[in-house]
Amino acid sequence: MIIGNGSEIETLNEKQVFDLCAEAFARSDLNGKRVLVIIPDYTRSGPFGLLFRVVYKLLSERVKNLDFLIALGTHPPMNDDAIYRHLGITKQEHIHSFPKARFFNHNSRDPGQLTLAGSFSEDEIAQISNGLLKKKVDVTINKMVYEYDLLIIIGPTFPHEAMGFSGGHKYLFPGISGEEIIDTFHWIAALITLPVFIGTKDTPMRKLVEKAAAFIPVERICINLVVHDHNLHGLFIGPPDETFSAAADLSDKIHIIYKKRPFKRVLSCAPPMYDEIWTAGKCMYKLESVVADGGEIIIHAPHVDHVSAVYGHILEKIGYHCRDYFLKQWDRFKDIQGGILAHSCNVKGTGTFENGVEKSRANVVLATAMPEDYCAKINLDYRDPKSINPDDWKGSEDEGILYVPKAGEMLYLLEDNPFRK
């Protein structure tokens, strides 16, 4: 059963959040339990400080352990100062007001953190992916989860480039899982191509994640958020699959903007929380569907000076290309992780590769702190960010020009969507 509330128009205040959480926790026997709270990292927006304080107040005196694991997925770790900023507390407050809370970073590349939860056969992956992929996949997860009686998953739901919508068990996979399962569902998504499924609730990737979650025997509760412009529009507490479904239905109404016609030029501005192309790529993901054939999209991120702290060295070697570029030269790229290939495809967008010539449907331009020769090296175009005045882009939609001041969370689709036909 779900405890929750959600509205396209109304927002929830702190008292409502506290009351909903209190009602949900009152339904469970939590006394003396070991509790692990799984929270998003800094690349997700939401009232995480509020939820941290509420959860701590409601549970700290009831439970034996109250630990917090940051669901980094493939992102770099957060140091103590970054964690404190993320949760809106200080080191002194941690020591004196929240002494029971312990914080941990997940590392998907550290075998010492991981344990095998289960495996999928080649036939199972083929069935889940509708025949797009056939391989055996081991499902690994942070072994901390087996040390607790209850997992509380906290996270927002938005349209998502690898799932359709984020939320629910996605904060286990990829949040606190190993790379193999992460690579698998990201690559399946790239094979489908992002514009076909993004903003869709029922996807092969969601099926894969739900089946992977079934391997985990630990009890879990999900606090699923729907956030828009820093305001909390929805809060759903209960089983992860049910809360995800409710949150995705509300997100569909709040986070998708429909346009009547495509745009020949788009300025997609990355907020500071996207501090590398690995995450700022969302500025392309969420807008590709409204870029006209032969059009241009500029990822405006003057603060970004690198592709990826973790995978940048690989992306520098392979560059950014459309799906068919990799598939038609598979012997060259078969040993590259699927998640890295998927990121490359999703940033570059849809296109073709025929007779050795790659042709992108739209032109992707980086207006970042990375120099022109570096952009050419990774097969993306360059624009000097100092040459761009966002004010010049405002109010020009009738001229085929779209300005998005904070890209990455809102999904833009055409009313008559050619990718879904």
Domains located in the chain, CATH noted: 3-254 (3.40.50.11440), 258-420 (3.90.226.30)
Taking each helix axis as running N to C, give the angle between helix 204-213 and helix 179-192, from 0 to 180 degrees, rounded to the nearest 10.
160
Contacts for 243 with CB less than 8 Å, ≥ 6 apart: 2, 4, 167, 168, 222, 223, 224, 236, 237
* Exposure of 236 in the CB half-sphere (CA atoms within 13 A): 27
Q: How far is CA 382 from CA 59, 366, 373, 379, in A?
A: 51, 5, 8, 10
pTM: 0.94
CB 364 within 8 A of CB 380: yes
Query: What is the chain's pLDDT, residue by residue, as a tens digit (421 residues)?
Result: 799 999 999 999 999 999 999 999 999 899 999 999 999 998 888 999 999 999 999 999 999 999 999 999 888 899 999 999 999 999 999 999 999 999 999 999 999 999 999 999 999 999 999 999 999 999 999 999 999 999 999 999 999 999 999 999 999 999 999 999 999 999 999 999 999 999 999 999 999 999 999 999 999 999 999 999 889 999 999 999 999 999 999 999 999 999 999 999 999 999 999 999 999 999 999 999 999 999 999 999 999 999 999 999 999 999 999 999 999 999 999 999 999 999 999 999 999 999 999 999 999 999 999 999 999 999 999 999 999 999 999 999 999 999 999 999 999 999 999 888 7
b/e code 152-189 from CB counts within 10 Å (16+ = b): bbbbbbbbbbbbbbbbbbbbbbbbbbbbbbbbbbbbbb
CB 213 within 8 A of CB 240: yes
Distance CA 57, CA 311 (A): 39
CB 67 within 8 A of CB 35: yes
Q: Could you tell me whether strands 3-6 and 231-238 are parallel, antiparallel, or unpaired per DSSP bridges?
A: antiparallel
Distance CA 231, CA 5 (A): 14
**Joined tokens for residue 386:** 């100092």
Nearest Cα residue to 89 out of 36, 60, 50? 50
